[in-house]
C-alpha cells in the first residue's frame, strides 16, 4: 500500500515541477508549488501510517502552516506585479536580465 | 549569565521587540527615528547578551523536556548568533540615510529585519531538520519581502517575484529530502540520524543518501552556488543596497552555519560519495562566478557576482572536510568572519555613497572619489583588498586557511584553482581602486551622509586590517589568534 502512495506522491511532485517550468501564468506557477508541498505531505502521511508513528503527521501539519504563509506572500506578489504591469504573464518580467536596462 | 538564559533571552528579545514595533508603528507617538533607534538598541543589547556566551566551550540542549532536544546551544551557535546580530546592527547603522530618505522603509521593515534575525538565530541552534526548515523559512520569507519593499519600482518587484518563486521551489526539495531521511532513519533529529548512519552499512541507506542530496540542492540554492544560483545577480540588483548587504553579509552566513552543523554531524560519513559533487560544484562556482564578475558594468552587480566566487572558496573547504576535519571546519569559520566584515563594509560604502537613492553605482561614479572623500575611498580600498585576499587584511588570512586545509586534505588542484580565481578577482576588485585613485572626477559632487554611518564604515575597515595583522604581541585586542581560537572552540563544541 505504501508503494502506491509513494508512486502517487512522486507523480504529483513531477507534475508540479513540470507545471512550474512550463507554465507562464504566475497563479498557475503558484499552484504548482502548492502541488510540490502537498506531494510531500501525502507521502509523509503514508509513511506515518505505515510505520505507526504519528510524528510525520505533525510534520505535515507544520508544512501546511508553512504553505499557508507562502500563500500569503504569493497573494501580495500577485497584487504588486499586477499593479505594475497589469498582467501576470511571467515572460513580461525580464528587465533585470537585460544588460542595458 | 547562564548559557540557557542567553539562549532563550536573545530570540525572545528579538521577537518581543519586533512585536512591539509592529504595534507601536500604529500609535501617534511613532516616528521613523524612534523605530530605527529601538531596533538598533535591541540589536545592540542582544549582541551584548550573546557575546557573553562566546569564548568557552560547552554544548547544552535547551529545555529538552519542552523542545524534545530540537534546539541546542553551544559555542558554535553562540559565535554565529553574535555575528548575525553584529551584522544586522552594522547594516542598519550604515544605512541611516537610506532609512531616512526612502518612504517605503516603514516600521514593518524594522519588524521584518528583526523577524529574519530571529529566524537565523533559531536556524543556528536547530538540531533537527524540521526546526531548521521552519527557521529557514522565517528568515527567508522576511528577506523575500525586504527585497520587494519598494513596491513601485519595477526592478524591486521583479526581484521579489524571482526570489520568491525560486526560493519556494527549492524549499520543496528540502522537504522531499527530509521526508526520505525520515522514511529510513525514523527520525529527523540530527543526533539520531548520525547514530543511525554509523550503525548501518553504507549501501543499505540509499534513502538517506538521496535525501541528503535533495537537501543539498536547497542549500546550494540559498548560498548561490552555480548550478542553482541563477537568481543571485537579478535579486541583488533589484534589491536596495542595504538589503543586498544584509543578504550577502548576514543571511548567507546563517545558511553556512547550518550547513556546517549538518556536515559535521551527519554528512561526514558519506564523504566519499559527496566529495566529487562538491569539488565539481566548487570548480564551476568559482569559474562562472569569476566570469560573471569580470563582465559586470556596475559595482553592485560585480560585488554580487563576486559573492558567488566566495561561496566557491568555502565549498573548497567543504570538500576537504572529510580528510582534514578540524582544520577545514575552522577555516570555514574564519573565512566566514573575514567575508562577513568585508562584504558588510563594501556594500555599506556603496549604500553610503548612493545616499539612499535607487541608482545602480557604476564604476564611473567612483571616479576621483579619493580627492573629494579620501576617508571613504581608503575604506573602500581596504574592503576591496580584503575581498581580493591581499596580505595584511583579514581576507588573506581567510583564504590562506582555506587553501591550506585543501592541501592538507590532498586536493592540491582545488587549492590551485582557488589561487587562480583569486588572481582573476584582482582584476575586478582593483578596477574599483583604479577608478577611485587614478581617474579624474567627471562631475564635482560632494556627498554628505551621516557622520555616524561613516564612523561605522571606518570601524569595519579597522577590523579588517586588525584581523590581518593583529596579534596580542602588539596590543591586547582580539586579533588573528583570538579569531582562530574562537573558530576552533566553536568546532570543538560540536563534538570534533
Burial degree of B478 (CB within 10 A; 0-12, 13-18, 19+): middle
Q: Determine what percent of chain A is predicted with pLDDT higher than 70.
A: 96
- Indicate the residue of A33, A47, A81 with minimum beta-carbon distance to B168: A33
What is the pLDDT at residue B229? 81
Which pTM does this prediction carry?
0.93
- Quick one: which H or E segment has residue A37? helix A26-51
Give me the residue from A39, A80, A95 closest to B160, CB to CB: A80
Distance from CA of A30 to the nearest CA of B (A): 8
Residue B470 has which C-alpha cell? Answer: 593583529
- The confidence band for A101, taking pLDDT boundaries of 50, 70 and 90, is very low
Minimal-distance CA residue of chain B relative to A9: B176
| A66 interaction partners in chain B (CB closer than 8 Å) | 133-134, 137
Q: What distance in Å separates the CA atoms of residue B164 and residue B148, rounded to the nearest whole number?
A: 10
- CA pair distance B460, B152, nearest whole angstrom: 33
Least Cα distance to B447 among B378, B355, B346 occurs for B355
The three-point CA angle B270-B252-A32 to 5° equals 80
Residues of chain A in contact with residue B240, where contact means CB-CB under 8 angstroms, are: none
Provide, as residue numbers in chain A, all residues whose Cβ is less than 8 Å from the Cβ of B69: none
Q: Decide if B179 and A83 are in contact by the 8 Å CB cutoff.
A: no
Alpha-carbon distance A40 to nearest alpha carbon in chain B (angstroms): 6
**pLDDT by position in tens, chain B (length 496):** 688 888 899 999 999 999 999 999 999 999 989 999 999 999 999 999 998 888 778 888 888 888 888 899 988 999 999 999 999 999 999 888 888 888 888 889 999 999 999 999 999 999 999 999 999 999 999 999 999 988 888 889 999 999 999 999 999 999 999 999 999 998 899 989 998 988 888 888 889 999 999 999 899 999 888 888 888 888 998 888 899 999 998 999 999 999 999 988 888 777 788 888 899 999 999 999 999 999 988 888 899 899 999 999 999 999 988 888 888 888 999 999 999 999 999 998 888 887 666 666 788 777 877 888 888 889 999 999 999 988 888 999 899 999 999 999 989 999 999 999 999 999 999 999 998 888 877 655 556 667 888 888 898 998 888 888 876 666 666 777 778 788 888 888 877 6
Question: Does an H or E element contain A1, and which?
Answer: none
Nearest to A36 among B172, B233, B234 (CB): B172
Contact A93 B158 (CB under 8 A): yes
Chain A residues with CB-CB distance to B130 below 8 A: 59, 62
pLDDT for the residue B356: 61
Residue in chain B closest to A16 (alpha carbons) equals B169
A37 closest CB neighbour out of B161, B172, B183:
B172
| Residue A16 forms contact with B (CB below 8 Å) | yes
User: Cβ B297–A96 below 8 Å, yes or no?
Assistant: no
Distance from CA of A15 to the nearest CA of B (A): 13
Q: So what's the ipTM on this one?
A: 0.95
Q: With beta carbons less than 8 A apart as the criterion, state whether B34 and B106 touch.
A: no
Interface membership of A99 toward B (CB under 8 Å): yes
Q: Which chain A residue has the Cα nearest residue B297? A: A99
Residue B453 half-sphere exposure, CB side, CA atoms within 13 Å?
27
SS3 A29: helix
Question: Closest partner residue to A62 among B134, B157, B168, by Cβ?
Answer: B134
Contact B14, B139 (CB under 8 A): no
Which of B67, B168, B185 to substitute to test the interface with A, most A CBs within 10 Å? B168
| Distance in Å, alpha carbon of B293 to nearest chain A alpha carbon | 13
**What CA–CA distance (Å, rounded) separates B111 from B23?**
10
Residue B442 confidence (pLDDT): 64
Query: Mapped to the 3 state alphabet, what secondary structure does chain B carry?
Result: CCHHHHHHHHHHHHHHHHHHHHHHCCCCCCCHHHHHHHHHHHHHHHHHHHHCCCCCCCEEECCHHHHCCCEEEEHHHHHHHHHHHHHHHHHHHHCHHHHHHCCCCCHHHHHHHHHHHHHHHHHHHECEHHHHHHHHHHHHHHHHHHHCCCCCCHHHHHHHHHHHHHHHHHHHHHHHHHHHHHHHHCCCEHHHHHHHHHCCCHHHCHHHHHHHHHHHHHHHHHCCCHHHCCCHHHHHHHCCHHHHHHHHHHHHHHHHHHHHHHHHHCHHHHHHHHHHHHHHHHHHHHHHHHHHHHHCCEHHHHHHHHHHHHHHHHHHHHHCCCCCHHHHHHHHHHHHHHHHHHHHHHHHHHHHHHCCCCCCCEHHHHCCHHHHCHHHHHHHHHHHHHHHCCCCCHHHHHHHHHHHHHHHCCCHHHHHHHHHHHHHHHHHHHHHHHHHHHCCCCCCCCCCCCHHHHHHHHHHHHHHHHHHHCCCCCCCCCCHHHHHHHHHHHHHHCCC
- Least Cα separation, residue B155 to chain A (angstroms): 7
Given CB atoms, is A20 within the 8 Å cutoff of chain B?
yes
Distance from CA of A71 to the nearest CA of B (A): 10
* CB–CB contact B160 A77 (8 Å): yes
Place of cell 548520525: B194
The minimal CB distance from A96 to the residues B148, B158, B176 is found for B158
Residue A25, SS3 per DSSP:
strand
pLDDT given for residue A27 in this prediction: 93
Q: Is A81 on the interface with B (CB under 8 A)?
A: yes
Domain covering A6-83 in this structure, CATH number: 1.10.287.3510
Residues of B in contact with A56 (CB under 8 A): 182
Q: Among A70-84, A86-100, B330-344, which is the least confidently predicted range?
A: A86-100
Give the residue extent of every domain in chain A: 6-83
B59 forms bridges with which residues in the sheet? B74
CB contact under 8 A, A81 and B137: no
Amino acid at each position: 500500500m505504501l508503494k502506491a502512495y509513494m508512486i502517487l506522491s512522486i507523480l504529483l511532485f513531477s507534475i508540479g515541477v513540470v507545471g512550474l517550468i512550463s507554465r507562464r501564468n504566475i497563479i498557475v506557477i503558484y499552484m504548482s508549488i502548492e502541488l510540490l508541498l502537498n506531494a510531500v505531505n501525502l507521502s509523509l502521511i503514508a509513511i506515518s501510517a505505515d510505520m505507526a508513528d504519528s510524528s510525520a503527521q505533525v510534520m505535515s501539519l507544520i508544512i501546511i502552516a508553512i504553505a499557508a504563509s507562502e500563500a500569503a506572500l504569493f497573494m501580495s506578489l500577485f497584487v504588486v506585479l499586477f499593479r505594475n504591469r497589469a498582467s501576470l504573464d511571467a515572460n513580461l518580467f525580464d528587465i533585470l536580465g537585460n544588460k542595458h536596462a | 549569565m547562564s548559557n540557557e538564559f542567553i539562549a532563550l533571552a536573545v530570540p525572545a528579545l528579538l521577537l518581543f521587540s519586533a512585536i512591539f514595533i509592529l504595534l507601536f508603528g500604529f500609535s501617534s507617538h511613532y516616528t521613523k527615528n524612534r523605530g530605527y533607534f529601538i531596533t538598533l538598541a535591541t540589536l545592540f543589547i542582544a549582541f551584548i547578551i550573546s557575546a557573553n556566551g562566546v569564548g568557552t566551550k560547552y554544548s547544552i540542549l535547551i529545555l529538552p523536556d519542552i523542545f524534545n532536544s530540537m534546539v541546542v546551544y553551544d559555542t558554535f551557535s553562540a559565535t554565529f548568533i553574535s555575528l548575525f546580530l553584529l551584522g544586522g546592527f552594522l547594516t542598519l547603522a550604515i544605512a541611516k540615510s537610506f532609512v531616512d530618505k526612502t518612504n517605503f522603509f516603514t516600521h514593518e521593515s524594522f519588524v521584518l529585519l528583526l523577524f529574519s534575525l530571529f529566524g537565523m538565530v533559531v536556524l543556528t541552534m536547530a538540531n533537527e531538520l524540521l526546526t531548521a526548515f521552519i527557521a529557514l523559512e522565517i528568515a527567508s520569507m522576511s528577506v523575500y519581502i525586504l527585497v520587494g519593499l519598494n513596491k513601485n519600482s519595477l526592478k524591486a518587484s521583479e526581484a521579489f517575484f524571482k526570489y520568491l518563486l525560486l526560493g519556494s521551489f527549492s524549499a520543496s526539495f528540502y522537504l522531499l529530502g527530509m521526508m526520505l531521511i525520515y522514511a529510513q532513519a525514523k527520525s529527523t533529529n540530527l543526533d539520531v540520524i548520525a547514530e543511525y548512519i554509523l550503525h548501518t552499512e553504507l549501501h543499505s541507506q540509499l534513502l538517506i543518501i538521496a535525501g541528503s542530496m535533495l537537501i543539498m540542492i536547497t542549500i546550494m540554492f540559498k548560498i548561490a552556488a552555480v548550478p542553482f544560483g541563477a537568481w543571485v545577480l537579478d535579486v541583488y540588483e533589484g534589491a536596495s543596497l542595504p538589503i543586498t548587504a544584509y543578504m550577502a553579509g548576514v543571511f548567507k552566513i546563517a545558511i553556512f552555519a547550518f550547513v556546517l552543523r549538518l556536515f559535521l554531524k551527519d554528512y561526514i560519513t558519506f564523504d566519499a560519495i559527496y566529495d566529487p559533487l562538491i569539488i565539481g560544484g566548487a570548480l564551476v562556482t568559482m569559474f562562472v562566478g569569476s566570469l560573471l564578475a569580470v563582465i559586470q558594468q556596475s559595482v553592485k552587480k560585480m560585488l554580487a557576482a563576486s559573492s558567488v566566487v566566495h561561496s566557491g572558496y568555502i565549498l573548497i573547504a567543504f570538500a576537504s572536510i572529510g580528510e582534514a576535519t578540524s582544520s577545514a571546519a575552522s577555516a570555514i569559520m574564519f573565512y566566514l568572519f573575514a567575508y562577513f566584515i568585508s562584504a558588510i563594509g563594501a556594500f555599506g560604502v556603496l549604500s553610503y555613497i548612493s545616499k539612499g537613492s535607487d541608482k545602480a553605482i557604476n564604476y564611473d561614479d567612483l571616479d576621483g572619489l579619493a580627492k573629494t572623500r579620501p576617508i571613504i575611498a581608503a575604506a573602500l580600498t581596504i574592503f576591496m583588498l580584503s575581498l581580493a585576499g591581499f596580505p595584511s587584511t583579514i581576507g588573506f588570512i581567510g583564504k590562506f586557511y582555506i587553501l591550506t586545509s585543501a592541501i592538507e586534505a590532498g586536493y592540491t588542484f582545488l587549492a590551485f584553482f582557488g589561487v587562480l580565481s583569486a588572481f582573476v578577482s584582482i582584476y575586478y576588485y582593483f578596477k574599483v581602486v583604479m577608478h577611485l585613485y587614478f581617474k579624474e572626477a567627471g562631475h564635482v559632487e560632494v556627498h554628505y551622509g551621516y557622520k555616524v554611518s561613516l564612523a561605522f564604515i571606518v570601524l569595519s575597515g579597522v577590523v579588517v586590517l586588525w584581523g590581518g595583522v593583529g596579534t596580542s604581541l602588539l596590543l591586547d585586542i582580539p586579533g588573528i589568534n583570538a579569531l582562530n581560537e574562537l573558530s576552533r572552540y566553536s568546532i570543538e563544541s560540536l563534538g570534533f
